[in-house]
A = this chain, B = another copy of it.
Amino acid sequence: MNKINETDEKLLCPIKYTLGIVGGKWKLPIICILSSGEPYRFNYIKKRLPEITNMMLTQSLKEMEASGMVGRKQFNEVPPHVEYTLTEKGKSLLKPLESLAEWGIENMHQEADNLSLCENCQAEK
A residues at B contact (CB < 8 Å): 4-21, 28-29, 32-33, 35-36, 48, 89, 92-93, 95-108, 114, 117-118, 120-123
Interchain CB contact (< 8 A) of A11 among B17, B32, B89: B32
Contact B104 A18 (CB under 8 A): yes
Contact B17 A121 (CB under 8 A): no
Determine the chain B residues whose CB is within 8 A of the CB of A16 once the complex forms: 28, 104, 117
Determine the chain B residues whose CB is within 8 A of the CB of A20 once the complex forms: 117
Given the complex of chains A and B, what is the CA–CA distance between A17 and B114 in angstroms?
Answer: 8
Shortest Cβ gap from A33 to chain B (Å): 5
* Given A95-B99, A118-B17, A123-B48 contact (CB < 8 Å): no
